[in-house]
Amino acid sequence: MRHTPPVSAFLLAVLTLTTFQAQGSSGHYTQKQIENMVSTAVHIQIKAMENDHSVFLHHDHDVQPGKNKYAIVVQTVSHGSIHRITRLNGKAIPLSRQKSQVAHFVHSPKLQQKQHQNDQHDAKQVKQLLRMIPKAFLWSVQKQSQKDITLAYKPNPNFNPPNKEDRVFAAMAGQMVLDRKDHRIVSFQGKIIHNVNFFFGLLGRMDKGGTFSVHRRQLQPHVWETVATHTHIQGHILLFKTINQNENEHDTAFKSVPANLTLQQAAKLAMKQPDWPNSSTAKSSH
């Protein structure tokens, strides 16, 4: 999704770039400089989510308890995404059924509205958690190279999470990798370091040891997409409404598509793609 940062984001990026250039060889950073790196990456990511309008065709492999799904996905800017499910739980979906499922979505305002609501909910959650990152954790430089820098984080004891989702997030420690050139988040991973109880455990609990990770990749200049997510959290409530507690998802084979695609055009494009995966690929994925 293409995005040119506004002036405020540009100034933050310049400040961080100056820090990288001045301190990159020695590896010594003040706490303020590290906080600036984190704040810059968060600010640019949020602005990209709001202003970025690049869309892609890609392959999606999503594994959850009881579900192993392969799909061809075509995004549109404002009409949602077409998901052509090609294989489910080890069985290939007949092409005729693939076509009928795609057509059903195209002609169902109710399904489109549900997808839109889920997308809006997830985007809101992500922004909320991103805004929390600079204040919720204590940061330190773990390692660095010419390409990226790895920051370690742990809960900030002075941070008071405003809601239950943030309580889970703030109980995590882990690492965040930042791209030094674009100041973008390359990966974010964490582990729950202590049990999280809600209303003394009566409303739910997240167990110590749960993990999650998100991996992102640059597809075009200044265009980044999430390519893998892993969530393995045990407890009695969901961390996110539309994200399973035990899930591994990988997106591959990205191809840029026109930004003005209608949903009908996206459906036709999805159905023109070669079936995926082939039998040998599917077997190796189990």
Q: What is the pLDDT of residues 227-283, one digit of tens each?
A: 999 988 776 554 433 334 789 999 999 999 999 999 999 999 999 999 999 755 555
What's the whole-number mean pLDDT along residues 57-79? Answer: 95
- In the chain, pLDDT over 90 holds for what percent of residues? 58
Own/partner contacts of 133-138, CB < 8 Å, gap of 24 or more, are 133/38, 133/42, 133/176, 134/35, 134/38, 134/39, 134/42, 135/159, 136/161, 136/166, 136/169, 136/170, 137/170, 137/173
Closest CA to 257 of 60, 57, 51: 57
Confidence of residue 165 (pLDDT cuts 50, 70, 90): low
Q: What's the pLDDT at 164?
A: 62
Owner of token pair 């499910």: 85
Distance CA 195, CA 200 (A): 11
Q: Is 11 left (phi over 0), alpha (psi -120 to 50) or beta?
A: alpha
pTM: 0.81
Q: What is the pLDDT of residues 79-120, one digit of tens each?
A: 999 999 999 999 999 999 999 999 999 999 999 999 999 999
- State the chain's mean pLDDT as an integer: 83
